[in-house]
Amino acid sequence: VCRWPLLDLCPGDRHQGLRLATAASLLPPATPPPALRLLPWALGSDQNINDNRKGKKKGEGIQIEGQPMTVVMMMMVLSPLRSSGSVMRDKGTGRPESAPLRPRARQPPHPRSESLAMAGAGGGCNDVQWCFSQVKGAIDDDVAEADIISTVEFNHSGELLATGDKGGRVVIFQQEPESKNQPQCRGEYNVYSTFQSHEPEFDYLKSLEIEEKINKIRWLPQKNAAQFLLSTNDKTIKLWKISERDKRPEGYNLKEEDGRYRDPNTVTTLRVPVFRPMDLMVEASPRRVFANAHTYHINSISVNSDCETYLSADDLRINLWNLEITDRSFNIVDIKPTNMEELTEVITAAEFHPNQCNTFVYSSSKGTIRLCDMRASALCDQHSKMFEEPEDPNNRSFFSEIISSISDVKFSHSGRYMMTRDYLSVKIWDLNMETRPVETYQVHEYLRSKLCSLYENDCIFDKFECCWNGNDSVVMTGSYNNFFRMFDRGYRQDVTLEASRENSKPRSVLKPRKVCTGGKRKKDEISVDSLDFNKKILHTAWHPLDNIIAVATTNNLYIFQDKLN
């Protein structure tokens, strides 16, 4: 049992203006960077095996990362017994089970996605095409700041879809049941509940306004008839209960039907209260409020696989919470230097492993990802693994450090891989190999020549999110001009699609878009100089069990689904 260091909930930090320090830390130094140093973890693998081999008795096996070699071999022997034609899913959550720890060239095909749903790809009768389903939000060109969508998240079954905006509101959409007459048409998403999650506040000690903007939403696995979700703004995290009520009690003895209390002296007979049917009412009630634990702005929350704890991360610290305890948390990562002038990087994202409750990762503005094991020590400042790709000296420029900052990190559903998004690319990492990513996909490489103008209009600091499909075979992320990109990992194909009201006819198939970087532009291509950088897709989400995606433009939520020819 670890003795966790208790976090002081009112730290009263003297240092202010982290945002300015963060922005300054992102700027590349005036002098060229020092030579790459050989990191200690790069020399540790063979030595650890040799050290563990010493002193072992016969039959105990070699320890590799705390796991006996005999167990590893048993997993490799038993893995072929799993069916390769379908994805095994956990009965409780509906998510794919953990994949065996063995190399594989290609993910098993999903029953409903034999190939990446590219419009016009292949031409076979079973090809899948992406088509428009719904769009939510006002059509007005004059967009209010409070209506800008700031996060999108499906729940574990995909039945509910939650969005948060800069006005502190949470809107939940529910998927209608599929029509028996049209089995290929999935049910649409309609508004299920809307509530005000956060209100604007003011910190009188620091003279700072606290925005009501919803930074992240995370669903908890469903345990009963009610649904629970976590929502956070810059400082406060709230646990919300979403429940339904379709009956009301009637027949009170001491209370009238309108709620007024009766005089007990007038009661001559006793009645047994009964429940009467009523119109369905969805209630959203705050069950827990987790506050006063973050000095800086919260950028990530992640629910642990034990369903009892979750983490919250700000620019310099990561805290571990119990869902039942609101007045204390445990600080598990603290990268704040003693002298804030020595600040060189900040935490940009953090997430728990989907299967291992002791493992989590966090990314930094320097482009590194650190994997930590909470079994090793109470304070995880010393990482277990660090994932970093060496920089090519030929591609170094003034903007190198800015565009290498990681804006999002996501584990695959199997837990074997990890996806990161920087400004220009998406990278897939194998948790067993820290030296370089196993896959790299260029999202909008044509913008490399536009970095100067993107720096001037602050677009270079945009934080794009990324997501996996249900069986980890396809990844998706957003871009500018309301474009979003999909990359098929097995077939090494990619497609660019657009979320636009011009293509918002019901069941209309999306046409692939191409960006022309120079020379003669073809009919269906768009010039890189014509891209609208005010239209951007930062937030995306993929249905965990089906080919349904949700992408957020400025104030609109687009929902697309696949369509069988």
**pLDDT value, residue 162:** 98
Sign of CA dihedral 225, 216, 502, 487: negative
**pLDDT value, residue 123:** 32
**pLDDT value, residue 365:** 96
| Token pair for 259 | 């709620």
Beta strands in 377-482 (DSSP E): 385-387, 408-411, 417-421, 425-430, 439-442, 466-468, 474-478
Q: How far is residue 120's CA from residue 139's CA, in Å, rounded to a whole number?
A: 30
Q: Do residues 469 and 542 lie in contact, with contact meaning Cβ atoms separated by under 8 Å?
A: yes
pLDDT digits (tens, 9 = 90+) for 200-247: 999 888 888 999 999 999 999 999 999 999 999 999 999 999 999 988
- Among 109, 121, 61, 60, CA closest to 84: 109
**pLDDT value, residue 81:** 31
Cβ neighbours of residue 134 under 8 Å, at least 6 residues apart?
Answer: 188, 189, 558, 559
Q: How far is residue 490's CA from residue 468's CA, in Å, rounded to a whole number?
A: 13
Report the SS3 class of residue 342. helix
Residue 563: CB atoms within 10 A of its CB come to: 21
**pLDDT value, residue 128:** 61
**pLDDT value, residue 182:** 64
| Token pair for 331 | 């600080």
Q: How far is residue 445's CA from residue 225's CA, in Å, rounded to a whole number?
A: 47
**Positions in the chain whose pLDDT score sits under 50:** 1-126, 565
**pLDDT value, residue 413:** 96
pLDDT digits (tens, 9 = 90+) for 489-535: 998 899 999 999 887 788 889 999 999 887 777 778 899 999 999 99
